[in-house]
Each structure stands twice: as structure tokens, then as C-alpha cells.
Amino acid sequence: MALLFLAAAPAAIAGTAPDDSLSAAVEDGNRTVTLTLEQCRELALQNSRDILNASLDVEAAKAQKQEAVAEYFPKVAVTAIAFYAFDPLLELGITDIIGNSEFAENLNNTLTQLATQYGFSPVYSTLKKGVSANVSVMQPVFAGGRIVTGNKLAKLGIEAAGLQQSISLRTTVEDVESAYWQIVSLENKLDCLSDVRTMLDTLYRDVLSASDAGLALETDLLQVRLKMNEVKAGEVQLKNGIRLAKMNFFNSIGVEYNPYSTFSGDGAPGLDDIRLTDDISDISAPQEYYRPAEEVAADQEETKLLDLSVESKRLEKRMALGEALPQIAVGATYGYNNVIDKGSMDGLVFGMIRIPLSDWGKTARKMQRLDTQMQKAENDRLYLQRQLVLQVHKLWLDATAAWEKLLVAEESCDMAEALMKQMEAQYSAGMAAVSDLLQAQTQFTQAEADLLDCRIAYRTALRAYRDKAE
């Protein structure tokens, strides 16, 4: 299912962006620009905030995986230090070496006299200043399995981010289609009102002629004019709704537009000049897309995310155990030291083993806590899997119910149209009043509006099911 949407994204990025055609049409002077549903999908895949953020989450997960891989390699560090003390940090005299005694006092006095005579200090002092610089390398040999487990967790993170990206792609396409067909439905309703206005204009001229000839009442003329004003008000309301819906839709998919009805100097097409061209009546029965609910639920990204959640809890428990296991590392250091005596280069190699003895109790409690979390994740997985199956059943029932309502609405629309034509014929023959004809036209207009609403409801329900089933 996700592959369908993922395959669309590279094509949208690599090919000519649909908004390029908008600019080209403006430059050529075309006042009407068309957009298909497929073009809107591609634009949404390029410009949707959720999809862009989901792609960044995937890149972040990959970077985190590289962080985890780096734990396999040696840690190399360069350290340098220099110091200067106001007084030597270490001073040693005779009494500091052999203690306080009569012999030590005599020896110290003698040494002091010789020092004065020959010009040297009777006290040894050092650590007045110094410099040290070295390079060290530390290679972990065994860290309780935490390095391997951390890399497995990072790999799960990439899978989870990819599944979330697929969910974002799916939901974005759902939103695009829903908004697209909503606008198409409103535009079709506006076309229906335009047809009604044309019929009313013809009827008004007929009634006006009949009224002038004394064959119709003035009340008939007023009824027609009242109906005409009602249709005009409906057209104004619909046009405003279409503009608002278009602005919201085009903002979400990244289409530039001018909110006015004519092209502006910046090259953006006018809002009313952008037309959505797909036919809302081009639909198929839901039986063409049926799949068993259990099979559909097993293929969902949500199901795979639940499996990853359980696996991540298992790995977290393994990480906790690694904290209580021995840790082994080897290393080497080499550098220059000039701190106590003359400067020299030197190096050493070493091995280190760390065995945590006092952490077993804490680790045991932590593992017990993670055990409960792992069991909770397993319980959530089993419950939500059943809920996913239930959701698929519900989506199928919604689609089939919407299809049945659509068939009824089509039949009602045909009946309303037949009734209106009969009333037109009866009115022309002088066998029906104007009010009866206006009522029949109103019923037909309402039937057409109901049919459009049913088509939108069916397309929405079918898309929701297909996004799960395909």
C-alpha cells in the first residue's frame, strides 16, 4: 500500500512540476488553467509539510544509525595540559625525608652551610611549571552487548521512520482527494444553479409575455422573480464557498494564485481561473476493490509499527542487562611529558575490565520493570490488531452503504428530472400552475445536489477503504 504513494513521490520530484504548467499558461495568456487530481497529488507530495517533515525524520533516523555504528570503532583523543604555579607544588628537605631527629637537624644544618658556600638550595622543589601532551586510543572489546543492541535499536528507528513516512503519504493523499472532490462538487452545484437560472430566465420571459397578454397573473410573475433571486443568492454563496475552499486547498499543495478573478502582474493565475477537471461521476462499484479484512490489516503500516514497538521493548531490556555485565577494553597512549624532570617521549598500552558488582539488584528491578512494559506493548499489539481488522470491516461497510445510497440518489434524480419535464409539458399546455413548475424545478435541483453529495460521500468512503486495501 505504501509503495503506491512512495512511487509517486520521485516522479513528482524528477518530472516537470505541475505549477510550471501554471506559469507557462499565464505567460501564454491563457485565462483558464486546469489541474487534474494526479497533478494535485504530485504537488502535495512535493510541498506537504507533513511529508517533508517525515522525510527529515527518516534522515534523522539514518544519522542516528550512523552514530550507533561509530560505537564499534576506537575512541581517539588528544590531550594537552600546561601549568604554572606561583610556588612549587612539591618541596622536599632533609627532615621531610628522614624525619625530625637530632641527626636530621645536624645534617640539615651542615647541608645549609654547604648550600650557602657553594650556591645551591638545601630544599628540592619541583612542579613549578610543566607541559604534557599525548594521544590515546581506546577500543571497546565487550560492553555487555549494548553496542550491538544499540545498533539494532537504531535500525528499528529507521524502519519506524519509514513506516511513519508511508502513513504521512497515505493521509496526505486522502486529504488531497477529499478536498479536490469537495471543490469539484461545489463547482458542479454551481453549474446546476446556472442551468436552473437559465430555465428561470426562459420561464420569466414566457410568464411576462403571458401576463402582458392577460393570460397569467402578476402573482405568477412575482413567484418566478422570487425564485430567480433565491437562485442568485445561492450562486453568490456557492462562489464564496468555492473560493475559500480553493484557497485552503491550493495553500496546502503549494499552488501560487491571485485571489482575484484576473491574472496579476506577478504571473500567478487568478483563483477563479484555476479549474479542477476530473469528472466526479467517473466511479466504480466497491466490489472491484474488496480484500479480506484480516489480510488487509496484516499489511498495514500501523501493524508493522506495533511489531516494532514490541521488538524495541525487548531490545531495551537487553540494553539494561548489558549494564550489569563485565566491560572490557584495550588502549594505548603516547606523548610528551615535561612536568617533574626533563621532557621526554613515552607511551604505554593497557587493558581494562570493569565488573559492576553492586548494580545487580538495581538492574534486576529495571529488567522487571521493562518486562512489564514489554508485556504491555504485546497486549497493545494484540488489541490494536483486532481494532485494525474492525476498522477495515467498518470502512468496507461505509463504502458499500455509500454506494447503495448513491444508486438511490441517482434513481431519485432521474425521477425528479422526469417529473420536472412532465410539469414543463403540462405548464406549456396550460394544465399546471407556475408554482407547480417551480416546485418541480426545486425538487430536481435538490435531487441533483443530493446526488453530488452522495458521490462525494462514496468517493471519500471508497478512498478510505482503498488506502487500506491496496
pLDDT tens column, 113-139: 777 777 677 777 777 788 889 999 988
What fold, for 281-324+359-470?
Outer membrane efflux proteins (OEP) (1.20.1600)
User: What are the sequence ranges of the domains in the chain?
Assistant: 281-324+359-470
- Span 197-220, mean pLDDT? 82
Please state which of the ranges 174-188, 205-219, 383-397 shows the lowest mean pLDDT: 205-219
In terms of Cα–Cα distance, which of 467, 367, 366, 456 is closest to 409?
456
Mean pLDDT of 341-360: 81
Across 6-10, 126-130, 265-269, 349-353, which has the greatest mean pLDDT?
349-353
Query: Which pLDDT tens digit goes with each residue over 390-445?
Result: 999 999 999 999 999 999 999 999 999 999 999 988 888 888 888 888 899 889 99
Task: Find the range with the poorest average confidence among 222-226, 261-265, 277-281, 334-338.
Answer: 261-265
Non-local CB neighbours of 451 within 8 Å, separated by 6+ positions: 406, 409, 410, 412, 413
Q: CA 387, CA 393: separation in Å to the nearest integer?
A: 10
Alpha-carbon gap, residue 467 to 470, rounded angstroms? 6
Among candidate residues 323, 406, 408, 382, the one with its CA nearest the CA of residue 358: 323
Instruction: Give mean pLDDT, residues 290-314.
Output: 87
**pLDDT greater than 70 at residue 28:** no
Percent with pLDDT over 70 in the chain = 91
Q: Lowest mean pLDDT: which of 56-60, 337-341, 442-446?
A: 337-341
- 101 pLDDT band, cuts 50/70/90, is confident
Record the pTM. 0.70
The Cα angle at residue 407 between residues 401 and 410, in degrees rounded to 5: 140
What pLDDT, on a 0 to 100 scale, did the predictor assign at position 15? 36
DSSP class of residue 269? P
The more confidently predicted of residues 44 and 31 is 44
Q: What is the Cβ-side half-sphere exposure of residue 456, based on CA atoms within 13 angstroms? A: 18
Per-residue pLDDT at 31: 60
Name the average pLDDT for the chain. Answer: 83
Task: Say which amino acid occupies 246.
Answer: K
pLDDT of residue 10: 34
Of 204, 388, 381, the closest CA to residue 296 belongs to: 388
Phi (first) and psi of residue 276, to 5 degrees: -95, 125
> What mean pLDDT do residues 87-93 have?
76
Q: Can you give the pLDDT at residue 217?
A: 76
pLDDT of residue 296: 87
Of 421 and 97, the one with more pLDDT = 421
Residue 112: per-residue pLDDT: 76
Distance, CA of 157 to CA of 312 (rounded, Å): 9
Residues 6+ apart with CB under 8 A from 345: 334, 335, 336
**Greater confidence, 422 or 13?**
422
* Amino acid 265: pLDDT: 52
Annotate 207-236 with b (16+ C-beta within 10 A) or e (fewer).
Answer: beebbeeeebeeebbebbeebbeebeebbe
Q: Tell me: pLDDT of 247 over 90.
A: yes
Neighbouring C-beta atoms of residue 67, cutoff 10 Å = 12
CB 137 within 8 A of CB 333: yes
Ranges 29-38, 186-195, 279-288: which has the least confidence: 29-38
Contacts of residues 224-232 at CB distance under 8 Å and 24 or more positions apart, as own/partner, are 224/200, 224/434, 224/438, 227/200, 227/438, 227/441, 227/442, 228/197, 228/200, 228/201, 228/204, 231/193, 231/196, 231/197, 231/200, 232/197
Adjacent-strand bridge partners of 76? 137
Is the confidence at residue 3, as pLDDT, over 50? no
Whose cell is 464557498? That residue is 241
Would you state the pLDDT for residue 341?
A: 67
* pLDDT score for 8: 35
Q: Residue 354: what are its φ and ψ, rounded to 5°?
A: -125, 120
The x, y and z cell numbers of residue 28, run together, are 501564454
> Do 308 and 156 form a contact (C-beta atoms < 8 A)?
yes
Span 15-30, average pLDDT: 46
Q: Is the pLDDT of residue 50 over 90?
A: no
Average pLDDT, stretch 314-343?
Answer: 84
* Amino acid at position 97, single letter: I
Predicted pLDDT at 30: 52
